[in-house]
Structure 1
Amino acid sequence: MAKPSYFYGIHAIEALLAHRPLDALSLFVQQGRETDSHVQEIMAAAKANGVSLQPTQKDKLTQLCGSPQHQGVVLHARPLGFANEGLLDTLTANDHCLLLVLDQITDAHNFGACLRTAVAMGVDAVICPKHHAASLTPTVAKVSVGAAEMMPIISVTNLARTLSQIKQAGVFVFGTALSADAKPIHAADMTGKTALIMGSEGEGMRRLTTESCDELVYIPMSGNEHGNLQSLNVSVATGMALYEVNRQRTLSVGQV
């Protein structure tokens, strides 16, 4: 079992205490921040779950979590685990399931930002490869403002094989890429069972991942006839792409 980590940030800790309180061990609170309403709520949740509270100096908190962005609270807790791959069978049974696939997103800040957007846009689960991908670290939890606790994140050994499996379940796999056969994302139908793949900045999707796609799409941008996905931060591009998926689905429901 992985050793406990020091989680930090108000929203990340609130989400952890709400979704898996039994994994929380000790709460360190910056002296002088006890009157902050958000901190008080965290302290109350910790006490309700039998988590010990320890008043701590600000510098000590920074030392514990390795970041000055702790917002006055640090929680010693067991790390978040990835969801079981078998969950995909249940999720893909939904006629309108939406899966986000992150292919080789290794930067913790980009990964966390993508998770935050995924929760906001109603993604059912995020899929990522076991290797060459960011782990579920306290930094990811902080950047995702707790979103990492709110949605299944599935780590798979063989991404191409997983994509083949979900395609057999009726999921249409879209890959974002700059290629001659890619179409503008708004021209693709994403109202059914959908998996959207975002590749790493610069390299994009790997060859086997690309070959697993049913269709390639790109994000059109002003002043560039064929867009330029690589000029966008991957978390920004993810937000734009998922917004388009939601736009289509909202219109589809309204037309029924």
Structure 2
Amino acid sequence: MWVAKRKLEIKTPGFGVGLPNTELLYGWTPVLAALKQGQREILGLYILGDYEGDHSREHTMEIVETAESMDVMVKEASRSELDQITNDGVHQGVVLRVGMFPAPPIKELGAFANGQHTVKCTSERSIVHGARRKYPLWLFLDGIQDTHNLGSILRSALYFGIDSAVLCGRESCHTSPTVSKTSAGAMECMTIYKSRLAERLVRKAKDDGWKVVCTTTHSTIAGASIQVSELPELDSPTVLVMGSEGTGISQPILELSDVNVHIPAKADVPSIVDSLNVGVAAAIILSSLKMPE
């Protein structure tokens, strides 16, 4: 059995649950991504004490070795302890205590020029962004409330080359451990912001030369939406907006849209099934976008 080189001090009852401004990531990919990406404060790693008998031993070994190389404290735990602190989540024998995910507020995207744009977070803080391709592509998620949908969307967003994401609206779910888990660790690899004033943010982006593309159901805006396959190549910095599961994109943001796109059904379907799950729709739309290199 592997033995931890250093013991993790348990500062509160319940195996570390309850420390302020911390949370517990669980599962191989979220834990390894958090360790390697360096976006969070890393406070300690809990591992299943008998993991060497597990068929997936190599995954845990990589996590342990990565943590050790970073001087992260490691402690063995029983399966019941890991089940308890993750509320019976699928932890795969690894749990990482971390600081909160950094998702700062955003006020402006800034104009894109000379391969970069400056994001304004507060009056004192700005962050310079580049672009993965010729023009940046940002994903605005307007009121997504389901953590599993958000995780699925972020996984697709990273895979298909989104530069950054913005969680819009007061009712949006947050960057929680569940989201990280369902994103297969993609959330830990992304730059994510939040905005309670999405309409103002989108309006300012348009003023700064960004194109706004809104996703809709064909029945929502009859005659004013094109199939996503008909969308021309994105020849400018672009904001792609996706709406909530129940109500879609808020009307004030829809009114700022330069073009609305939808995914056509391939068969006659009942009116109550007029759209796809937002996580599925995100993957299809992102894979269909034509982006110049």
Q: TM-score, normalised by structure 1?
A: 0.89
Aligned to 1:170: 209
Would you say the 8 A contact 1:229–1:237 is kept in 2? no
Would you say the 8 A contact 2:40–2:100 is kept in 1? no
* Runs of 4+ that moved beyond 4 A: 91-95, 227-230
Q: 1:69 aligns with which of 59, 80, 90?
A: 90
Runs of 5+ unmatched residues, structure 2: 1-18, 111-116, 119-128
Q: Deviations over 1:183-218 (max 9, x none)?
A: 111112242222111111231111112112111111
Would you say the 8 A contact 1:218–1:229 is kept in 2? no
Aligned to 2:156: 117
Compute the displacement of 1:87 (Å). 7.6
Compute the displacement of 1:229 (Å). 8.2
Inter-partner Cα distance in structure 2 for 1:87 and 1:80: 21
Would you say the 8 A contact 2:26–2:177 is kept in 1? yes
Inter-partner Cα distance in structure 2 for 1:238 and 1:127: 14
Aligned to 2:288: 244
Matching residue's letter, 1:236: V
Aligned to 2:230: 187
In structure 2, the CA distance between the partners of 1:97 and 1:22, relative to structure 1 (3 Å rule), is closer
Matching residue's letter, 1:206: S
- Work out whether 1:158 is the aligned partner of 2:197: yes
Aligned to 1:27: 45
Residues 1-256 of structure 1 correspond to what in structure 2 (within 5 A)? 3-20=21-38, 23-34=41-52, 36-83=57-104, 85=106, 88-89=109-110, 90=117, 94=131, 95-178=134-217, 179-180=221-222, 181-192=224-235, 193-224=237-268, 230-245=274-289, 248-249=290-291
Inter-partner Cα distance in structure 1 for 2:102 and 2:151: 15
Inter-partner Cα distance in structure 1 for 2:171 and 2:39: 30
Would you say the 8 A contact 1:8–1:65 is kept in 2? yes
* Alignment size in residue pairs: 248
Compute the displacement of 1:157 (Å). 2.3
Inter-partner Cα distance in structure 2 for 1:44 and 1:64: 23
Structure possessing the higher radius of gyration over alpha carbons? 2
Matching residue's letter, 2:186: A
Q: Secondary structure at the match of 2:51?
A: coil
Matching residue's letter, 2:176: T
Inter-partner Cα distance in structure 1 for 2:105 and 2:197: 14
Matching residue's letter, 1:241: I
Matching residue's letter, 1:159: A
Q: Secondary structure at the match of 1:12?
A: helix
Matching residue's letter, 1:28: Y
Q: TM-score, normalised by structure 2?
A: 0.78
